Copies of this chain bind each other. A is one copy, B any other.
Amino acid sequence: MQIGMVGLGKMGGNMAERLRRGGHEVVGYDRDPAVSDVSSLRELVDRLQAPRAVWVMVPAGEPTQLTVNELGELLDEGDLVIDGGNSHYVDDQRHAEELKAHGIGFVDCGVSGGVWGLQNGYALMCGGDKASVERLMPVFETLKPEGEDGFVHAGDVGAGHFAKMVHNGIEYGMMQAYAEGWELLEASDIVKDVRGSFSSWRTGTVIRSWLLDLLVRALDDDEHLDELKGYAQDSGEGRWTVQAAVDHAVPLPVITAALYARFASRQDDSPAMKMVAALRNQFGGHAVTSAAGSTEKGADSPGADVTPPREAQ
């Protein structure tokens, strides 16, 4: 079928290519003229025959909002917008309302697959009404990996990005679980072959996974990760997962702990732990490491922690 693709970066560009290889006609627009088939969104719309389908593949937030706004003006009743970026599911619901006012349909689609997607296909989670999703099935069929999995019509508008968000939340938890296990093995005096232990788990164990394969590959490159700093960004989706949990009164101790570990990893020094140090200092003159770096031994602890009178013989 014919489809417009807005945003031809690493994701959008590869998806357009996979669609073309699958026999679809793709008209692509990107603000970089070097990769764009048309010079403007207006021209893209003009090049498509109604009823049109336009896949938006630009960063979440303002870029997506601006694109949706502009398409709302340019498209006609009966056309369809697909947001394949990483939008917040709450924004999907607003975008759908805004477009509906113009008679334009909306489908949200969480996409997973990355650099391997062009070759292997993209896992797709979409949300929207049944008719709109049906209409897009030829496109979804081409984009998704071979086999029975890799695609779901998860529910109403927003459900695709909600599912993708939860996918990422789970990913946070799994990564942290492996990472904690790795730290504990590294801390052990008796375990000498940590890389080999993880490698041994790739076959025949309960925790074998694609992430485990990546982990072993990372250790093959740098056995003790000496080249890296313990500093990890978080994408919006981890935060949204926790916020959705709070909104739905669902306890997510593991996923939240994984998110907080990333927050903490980006702090040069923990303000909270400064306060804990300050309190310990107050109530007993504990040894406190000052910002200057030296460790001063204060008066002995009083009642809080250890009471260290001199040792008897």
Known A-B contacts A180-B170, A187-B250, A218-B278; A193 and B156 likewise in contact (beta carbons under 8 Å): no
Residues of B within 8 A of A117 (CB): 204, 302-303
Judge if A106 is at the interface, Cβ distance under 8 Å. no
Judge if A237 is at the interface, Cβ distance under 8 Å. yes
Judge if A74 is at the interface, Cβ distance under 8 Å. no
**0/1 per residue, A110-140, Cβ < 8 Å to B?**
0111111100111111010000000000000
**0/1 per residue, A274-305, Cβ < 8 Å to B?**
11111111111111111111000001111111
**0/1 per residue, A40-51, Cβ < 8 Å to B?**
110000000000
Contact B254 A254 (CB under 8 A): yes
- The distance in angstroms between the C-alpha atoms of A260 and B251, with both chains bound, is 5
**Copies of this chain, how many?**
4
Residues of B within 8 A of A101 (CB): none
Residues of B within 8 A of A200 (CB): 123-125, 149-152, 154, 163
Residues of A within 8 A of B (CB-CB), count? 186
Judge if A73 is at the interface, Cβ distance under 8 Å. no
Contact A170 B177 (CB under 8 A): yes
- The distance in angstroms between the C-alpha atoms of A40 and B292, with both chains bound, is 43
Contact A271 B186 (CB under 8 A): yes
Residues of B within 8 A of A13 (CB): 309
Contact B233 A287 (CB under 8 A): yes
- 23 residue pairs A–B, Cβ–Cβ below 8 Å: A7-B310, A7-B311, A29-B312, A30-B310, A89-B190, A117-B303, A123-B203, A145-B203, A152-B193, A153-B196, A154-B196, A174-B209, A175-B279, A179-B275, A180-B251, A187-B249, A218-B279, A218-B281, A228-B277, A233-B287, A242-B242, A254-B258, A256-B260
Top 7 closest A-B pairs, CB basis?
Answer: A114-B302, A9-B309, A173-B177, A209-B209, A230-B273, A112-B303, A235-B305
